[in-house]
Structure 1
């Protein structure tokens, strides 16, 4: 809070985030169009109308709005907005870029967020590379980080060396399970399955566990390359990285996943390297969201900070156990969505 002010405002939160991000935040809207802020970037798959510009700063709301309760989340969804409303939050800060309608239940921010008096800030690329937590959780100290490998914004590559207590690939897998509290989440899932009567229910943080795709649990680990496939990291990039760091013995791909037959894995096997897929994207709220939330608490002790963690589950339709809603869903589908023609009446 600025000296002499009696309340915390959105602008104070922006100032705290600018300190946390080492000056990467958009503090003046002119930065969005001037090209002077390298963390304002376009993300596109070249699908007409589906691109988005990342703006690490205040996306919606008044910068002088009072703030006493902040929610820190990973991705803005209507569920996050509704939770923020129920908790009477003043401001949502999300890691990933937001987009009108796509991030707000199909409607514009201007029609939705004012209902709950919510302001909205995003960060994403402006937060990448600021702390070593992602690599420490995966068992190595990062020695070098490139957040735009081969000139691609967000294409992050870490070069690391194994922690003293991490000697094998099995040590990395055990470390990830322990830090992420998988045993707790497994207990929660088993309890929910029993309560709902849905034995096949799956949950996002558990469905994609860390796995060893090349090498063995006893494969020695020392020199690590750690990247994130969804950022545009390619096989060519992996080959370049291995030429840069020929001492590499272990490769970790995390946040996003690759499967056993991916060319990354084939290349690792060809080179005799250990290949591990680490934490999935569904737990980045803990990897990146939690450090950000605690940093805000340290800088803005007068503000209450909440971690907004979504939990996504899946179950086959045939196993949904709540009969009343099953009948509702079927009735709506059969009567209104799939007009069933009347049965033919046989005439003689």
Structure 2
């Protein structure tokens, strides 16, 4: 029978030893992938720890779930479906990852172990560039000296000659026809044509250039990591053959300074997959690797699906009546529930 410690060992194999073996290693403060993430917003920083976050390393494991971000929804689904351990890509934190309560209370309640592997997983495989139609020639996971500021320089794969080819490749690989069909069915079942969904709304698009604009050399960036216009100019100066900037995981919208910098440099600018697709880009390879290394352990993938619905169309009439009553009687400055 596999144990949690075997998951930790498997993660070490997968990352080439980037994970931590114990909290003592974390407390030493010298591990390159134990990183404090902070925007300077008071009290909101989180320490990223690649490995076991909470749980008994000797606990037996029959079923693992891989997800992008642990939330209370993930923990609830894990508890309801017999998952023993959750491996999250993004850092895990009290309250933020567990419904506003302490992490220990929620994980203990359902006997679920929590593990994470974020920056330590980045740069291990060329899958994201491959899905976007180019082969990596060089890469950097801390460009400009900023840890996590990932950048790839690549050459278009055979069959990829235009921006339109990249768009069509992504549409096919990410099975967007399934998401569009699912959304159409949900609209039909609920009788709400206005429902919108992340995967469909955030599909790839072109900022600068046309579908038939030629592509040969690609600068692949991830704006949410802090990639700046200065980084862009430096990268193009270092790689003067670049003709296309490709932004993925996160994106920028019209008027952003990265777009204007690309325009000044005479480059195409294409936005690829958004963050919702990373569960397939990074999560699915990780899940497959864990399944290969942990014989006899079932591995499942938890996917997020977020929809937008006009507030007065949510649920049925009973739910709408409930919401109106709670808002009218308790939330509009009239009175609060008695504490006695």
TM interval, shorter chain, is: over 0.9
CA contact (8 A) 2:135 2:154 kept: yes
Deviations 1:82-115 (A, max 9, x none): 0001111100000000110111001111111111
What is residue 285 of structure 1 aligned with on the other side?
Answer: 279
CA contact (8 A) 1:95 1:123 kept: yes
What is residue 154 of structure 1 aligned with on the other side?
Answer: 148
CA contact (8 A) 1:200 1:319 kept: no
What is residue 251 of structure 1 aligned with on the other side?
Answer: 245
What is residue 99 of structure 2 aligned with on the other side?
Answer: 105
What is residue 288 of structure 2 aligned with on the other side?
Answer: 294
1:70 aligned counterpart, secondary structure: strand
2:80 pairs with 1:93: no
> Over the residues paired in the alignment, what is the CA RMSD in angstroms?
1.1
Q: Distance in 2 between the 1:339 and 1:325 partners?
A: 22
What is residue 64 of structure 2 aligned with on the other side?
Answer: 70
- Give the Å deviation of 1:320: 2.8
Deviations 1:265-307 (A, max 9, x none): 1122222211001001011101100000000111112100000
CA contact (8 A) 1:80 1:310 kept: no
2:3 pairs with 1:15: no
Deviations 1:293-336 (A, max 9, x none): 00011111210000011111111213335221111111110111
Q: Distance in 2 between the 1:329 and 1:154 partners?
A: 43
CA contact (8 A) 1:196 1:322 kept: no
What is residue 346 of structure 1 aligned with on the other side?
Answer: none
2:160 aligned counterpart, secondary structure: coil
What is residue 322 of structure 1 aligned with on the other side?
Answer: 316
Q: Which segments of structure 1 move beyond 4 Å, counting only runs of 4 or more?
A: none
Q: Summarize the alignment of residues 1-348 of structure 1 with structure 2, pairs less than 5 Å apart.
A: 7-320=1-314, 322-339=316-333
1:92 aligned counterpart, secondary structure: strand
- Give the Å deviation of 1:234: 0.8
CA contact (8 A) 2:312 2:320 kept: no
Name which one, 1 or 2, has greater alpha-carbon Rg. 1
TM-score (norm 1): 0.94
CA contact (8 A) 1:198 1:321 kept: no
Deviations 1:136-165 (A, max 9, x none): 010001111100111111100011110011
User: Number of paired residues?
Assistant: 335
What is residue 4 of structure 1 aligned with on the other side?
Answer: none
- Give the Å deviation of 1:36: 2.7
